[in-house]
A and B are shown apart, each in its own frame.
Chain A
């Protein structure tokens, strides 16, 4: 079985490291664990020295997640690359499963699996996010943010980075979406239904990178224009590109409105609600009058009422 390099960027969370490293090692037969210490100023270095058989790379100046992952790709020796965040977990044997899938389909660029959602203490909350078996072309679905894929649940062939380029450091937070879209432009995407990792869901106060969702979505909206210039998208008819852009804008603003309506407004958190709504309005001015989020909200309320009756 070929070697897998698991790249774990970390920044000042030493207490989580032992657990995540152990989970990575248990996930496959020949695993090289690379911990990229992104200029932590605490005892991360000391903790890593005690961890057996890891490749510890110290970065002196903070590079952000994407820059740290790029350094990890540079020092890796495996044929396959898996990204793992320091607060998530890999399930035992999951890398083996994904390697098998990629070996069976040598044309595919990466494989994604399902993720178990968990709270801040990593207790599963019952949700499992399964990647949809992509209808026809994962590239277009990714381009419209319609194909939920997280670094945690993917295994990538290293040669993809040589053909499509490394991660983009200037769009932190959505660098993973960007690289998966660029790889999917060149390679088919594989999907397996089995859960491969446990994802610690960010809360607005957890200080995880993905807490600032609204800002990220705005960056994604801007960056999609660049992705639409990729040769395969550029070769598509103008209509298709425009439709794709429109769907993306609507999806983002609906998502932002939904978050504002369900998470911020009911708890009286006016400032983030205002930020979300104004970004949604700036991206798709008509989104507030579109029925999508309200329908969903009504449906949710109905189910809640029914549950209360029962």
Chain B
């Protein structure tokens, strides 16, 4: 029986796939590579048949990334499981090292690492995430997804305890799984780059290119499912509110950043869409953001003054000062 199964879902990208498979093979010993061909209509099948010692699973009806990963789980046998996207690469020996670290830490069921983002042009950036929190990271994960999907190696048994991936939310299915795992189990981190992560662009037709849609989906998931997780329902009201606030702050920050970067590339429509989504979804978070960015004491005081009487007095004094300085 293989020790670790690396599951590579793929759809119509035979050229990139070969690179991903080679990198997966070099990443560890006793590796079982399972390629799930999600109803590709090109020469993916021939490419895979020409590569020896991989398990090739042909899915005849397109299932989406999450469904394909689930099928890979059914078709694989390894004690440990890792997902790899067909356009990403594993670094040599990385899976071995991660398993070694995970076995030293019997409490943890999963270990993740850093990813080196790479532009389609080939330039590489600083490893992400810069800091890797570990242990009980449930609350951090609720706020943002800092676990690059391909960098995680987890024990198969933990999947049967929290359930498989959700096919209905392809794109954030991995985030949802990390949240569900972190709710119950401890997660270890390996603060070294373990993979190369090809950055999506809006034209690269990767699943993750439509950030705005993904964000809306994530928001829906937060409200409909995550808020109902036993760990959250048993937490205090303040804790719940805090979780929601940091989630929405993070989301709106992301959207605003997205809008600015689109503006820089003169993609006006996309910029407008991002900004409007931010405004529509999280108006309060956006004000919070403006406050932090402008750090204008006036705005700050205006916003906080309504809360207590003492602050109101402060605000009055502040405006008096402004007026007197003008005259």
Q: Does A264 contact B (CB under 8 A)?
A: no
Segment at the interface with A among B143-151, B159-167, B271-279, B290-298 = B159-167
Question: Total contacts A to B, CB within 8 angstroms?
Answer: 74
The answer to whether A166 touches B74 (Cβ under 8 A) is yes
Q: Does A170 contact B (CB under 8 A)?
A: yes
Please measure, in the bound complex, the distance between the C-alpha atom of A42 and the C-alpha atom of B77, giving whole angstroms.
31
The answer to whether B61 touches A182 (Cβ under 8 A) is yes
Partner of A164, one of B60, B73, B159: B60
Chain A residues whose CB sits within 8 angstroms of the CB of B162 once the complex forms: 59-61
Q: Does B71 contact A (CB under 8 A)?
A: yes
Closest residue of chain B to A230, judged by CB?
Answer: B61
Closest chain B CB from A161 CB (angstroms): 6
Partner of B163, one of A61, A158, A185: A61
Known interface pairs A166-B67, A230-B61. Does A161 touch B74 (Cβ–Cβ under 8 Å)?
yes
Q: Does A186 contact B (CB under 8 A)?
A: yes
Chain B residues whose CB sits within 8 angstroms of the CB of A168 once the complex forms: 167
| Per-position binary interface string of chain B over residues 243-270, scored 1 when its CB falls under 8 Å from any chain A CB and 0 otherwise | 0000000000000000000000000000
Segment at the interface with B among A66-74, A196-204, A240-248, A272-280 = A66-74
CB interface residues, A 45-103, toward B, < 8 Å: 57-61, 63, 67, 70-71, 73-75
CB interface residues, B 118-174, toward A, < 8 Å: 159-164, 166-168
Interface residues on B, range: 20 to 34
Known interface pairs A161-B74, A165-B67, A170-B168. Does A71 touch B160 (Cβ–Cβ under 8 Å)?
yes
CB interface residues, B 36-52, toward A, < 8 Å: none
Closest chain B CB from A287 CB (angstroms): 31
Partner of A67, one of B63, B71, B74, B164: B164
Known interface pairs A61-B163, A71-B164, A74-B164. Does A163 touch B58 (Cβ–Cβ under 8 Å)?
yes
The answer to whether B74 touches A74 (Cβ under 8 A) is yes
Q: Does A169 contact B (CB under 8 A)?
A: yes
The answer to whether B74 touches A73 (Cβ under 8 A) is yes
| Per-position binary interface string of chain A over residues 270-302, scored 1 when its CB falls under 8 Å from any chain B CB and 0 otherwise | 000000000000000000000000000000000
| Per-position binary interface string of chain B over residues 53-71, scored 1 when its CB falls under 8 Å from any chain A CB and 0 otherwise | 0000111110100010011
Interface size on A, residues (CB 8 A): 27
Please measure, in the bound complex, the distance between the C-alpha atom of A59 and the C-alpha atom of B160, giving whole angstroms.
6
Please measure, in the bound complex, the distance between the C-alpha atom of A166 and the C-alpha atom of B71, giving whole angstroms.
7
Please measure, in the bound complex, the distance between the C-alpha atom of A57 and the C-alpha atom of B164, giving whole angstroms.
13
The answer to whether B70 touches A70 (Cβ under 8 A) is yes
Q: Does A106 contact B (CB under 8 A)?
A: no
The answer to whether B59 touches A162 (Cβ under 8 A) is yes
Closest chain A CB from B84 CB (angstroms): 19
The answer to whether A165 touches B160 (Cβ under 8 A) is no
The answer to whether A70 touches B164 (Cβ under 8 A) is yes
The answer to whether B67 touches A63 (Cβ under 8 A) is no
Q: Does A231 contact B (CB under 8 A)?
A: yes
Known interface pairs A70-B70, A73-B74. Does A164 touch B164 (Cβ–Cβ under 8 Å)?
no
Q: Does B180 contact A (CB under 8 A)?
A: yes
Q: Does B302 contact A (CB under 8 A)?
A: no
Closest residue of chain A to B164, judged by CB?
Answer: A70
The answer to whether B61 touches A165 (Cβ under 8 A) is yes
Given contacts A59-B163, A162-B74, 11 further A-B contacts (CB under 8 A): A57-B160, A59-B161, A60-B184, A70-B70, A71-B159, A74-B70, A161-B71, A162-B57, A165-B67, A169-B168, A170-B167
What residues of chain B have their CB less than 8 Å away from a CB belonging to chain A? 57-61, 63, 67, 70-71, 73-75, 159-164, 166-168, 180, 183-184, 229-230
What residues of chain A have their CB less than 8 Å away from a CB belonging to chain B? 57-61, 63, 67, 70-71, 73-75, 158, 161-166, 168-170, 182, 185-186, 230-231
In the A-B complex, the 3 residue pairs with the closest CB atoms: A63-B163, A60-B161, A165-B63
